[in-house]
């Protein structure tokens, strides 16, 4: 096609303008891919912490005034048999003071069935010393968050005293440490469910029941079904984290607007270059039309120029964006946890689809950028164009 040859010649003949137009596209694609990587990492980490680091459904007493769930064994068995439910873990949670020598810390003591809790929360994946399921065989064993153990200055094998008003001080043997990377490492301890119930003098009740389901996105429907059958209050992870999900939706809209503006800036750069070409090549365009070149071909020449600039720009932009993301991944960008829902560093995630989306939309914007200059060139009168040159 001679239109492509002419377009290529035009692009190569104006090296500086072409270079700046390519750089505009490349920078737009690079900036957007980096932003997408930051957004993907942030959203992925938030969803992971919401879905994977918490029960998909938490069953609470029906009445807010009630502190405990009774008949928890019956309800846990009923919930476990529901379609889509992987496991249910009854849990007793109480606040205690743990003491070791002259050190004392306030702790959330969680009494659990180790096997059920492992199926729901997979605590064992976070254990850095010892074995979570060893609780099964240790009547008064306890696992501590590693930061809590550090604050108490205890190690695996030491014994700590649990103190609670109205309860008899009980000695627990530290059988393991876990690390989640969250604030829970400073305030959480696990013990056997029956041990916790005995310590708090509350046999036969639990604080809540955690549930893990096969498809987290079906948690709302399963929670509604559980409420209907058990008459207990079932809260899905989506309901519990509605604030986070709303924040992510708002963030998506605002970021997409920013993407559009960046693409538009790059597109205006290309359009400006092509309009300049039309103004400076009026005589050549007039001669082409006088020789019989159709309006359609004139438009094609300018659209091909836009495409050539766009393709080269998005290729460089993709490479530049990838290199930038890799470079950023090698540094931990610290963020204030209170602002970023507990995240301590900004996660960055490479998603191949992000590069594809950025390149595709950059290409589309480039095509649209070339339409006006192409129409302007195609509408030139051949005689006036030659005379005005």
Sign, Cα dihedral of 259, 262, 263, 264: positive
- List, run by run, the mean pLDDT of 10-residue segments along the chain (389 residues): 78 78 84 85 77 88 86 93 94 95 94 94 91 90 95 94 92 94 89 95 93 91 92 90 78 80 75 70 71 79 82 89 88 69 74 84 79 77 63
Please provide the DSSP assignment of 56-67 as one string: SEEEE-SSTT--
- pLDDT of 156: 94
Strands (E), 82-156: 85-100, 103-112, 127-130, 141-145
Pair 269, 373: CB distance under 8 Å: no
What pLDDT is stored for residue 329 in this prediction?
83
* Start-to-end CA span in the chain (Å): 27
Contacts of 325 (CB under 8 A, 6+ apart): 33, 34, 37, 348, 350
How far apart are alpha carbons 52 and 199 in whole angstroms? 30
Q: Quote the pLDDT of residue 306.
A: 80
- Predicted local distance difference test score (pLDDT) of residue 387: 64
Total-model pTM: 0.66
What's the confidence (pLDDT) of residue 84? 93
Comparing CA positions, the residue from 104, 84, 108, 88 lying closest to residue 96 is: 108
Beta-bridge mates of residue 234 = 59
- Give CA–CA dist 46/237, Å, rounded: 12
43 CB contacts (<8 Å, ≥6 apart)?
A: 248, 251
What is the rounded distance in angstroms from the CA atom of residue 192 to the CA atom of residue 146? 19
- The pLDDT score that the predictor gives to residue 337 is 64
């Amino acid at each position: 096609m001679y239109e492509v040859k002419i377009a290529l010649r035009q692009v190569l003949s104006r090296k500086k303008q072409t270079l700046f137009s390519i750089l505009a596209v490349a920078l737009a694609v690079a900036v957007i891919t980096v932003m997408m990587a930051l957004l993907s990492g942030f959203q992925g980490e938030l969803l992971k912490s919401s879905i994977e680091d918490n029960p998909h459904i938490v069953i609470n007493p029906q009445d807010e005034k009630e502190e405990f769930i009774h008949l928890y064994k019956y309800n846990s068995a009923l919930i476990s048999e529901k379609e889509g439910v992987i496991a249910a873990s009854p849990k007793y949670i109480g606040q205690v003071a743990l003491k070791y020598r002259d050190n004392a810390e306030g702790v959330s003591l969680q009494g659990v069935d180790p096997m059920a809790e492992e199926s729901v929360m997979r605590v064992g994946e976070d254990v850095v010393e010892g074995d979570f399921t060893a609780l099964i065989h240790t009547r008064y064993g306890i696992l501590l968050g590693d930061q809590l153990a550090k604050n108490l200055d205890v190690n695996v094998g030491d014994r700590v005293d649990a103190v609670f008003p109205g309860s008899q001080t009980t000695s627990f043997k530290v059988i393991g440490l876990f690390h989640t990377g969250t604030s829970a490492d400073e305030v959480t301890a696990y013990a056997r469910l029956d041990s916790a119930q005995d310590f708090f003098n509350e046999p036969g009740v639990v604080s809540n029941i955690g549930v893990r389901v096969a498809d987290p996105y079906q948690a709302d429907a399963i929670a509604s079904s559980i409420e209907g059958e058990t008459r207990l209050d079932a809260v899905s992870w989506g309901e519990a984290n509605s604030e986070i999900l709303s924040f992510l939706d708002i963030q998506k809209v605002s970021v997409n607007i920013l993407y559009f503006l960046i693409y538009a800036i790059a597109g205006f750069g290309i359009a400006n270059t092509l309009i300049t070409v039309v103004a400076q090549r009026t005589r050549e365009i007039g001669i082409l039309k006088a020789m019989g070149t159709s309006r359609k071909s004139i438009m094609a020449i300018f659209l091909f120029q836009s495409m050539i600039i766009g393709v080269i720009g998005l290729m460089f932009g993709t490479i530049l964006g990838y290199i930038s993301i890799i470079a950023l991944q090698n540094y931990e960008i610290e963020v204030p946890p209170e602002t970023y829902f507990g995240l301590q560093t900004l996660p960055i995630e490479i998603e191949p689809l992000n590069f594809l989306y950025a390149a595709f939309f950059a290409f589309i914007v480039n095509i649209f950028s070339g339409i006006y200059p192409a129409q302007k060139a195609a509408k030139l009168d051949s005689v006036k164009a030659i005379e005005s040159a």
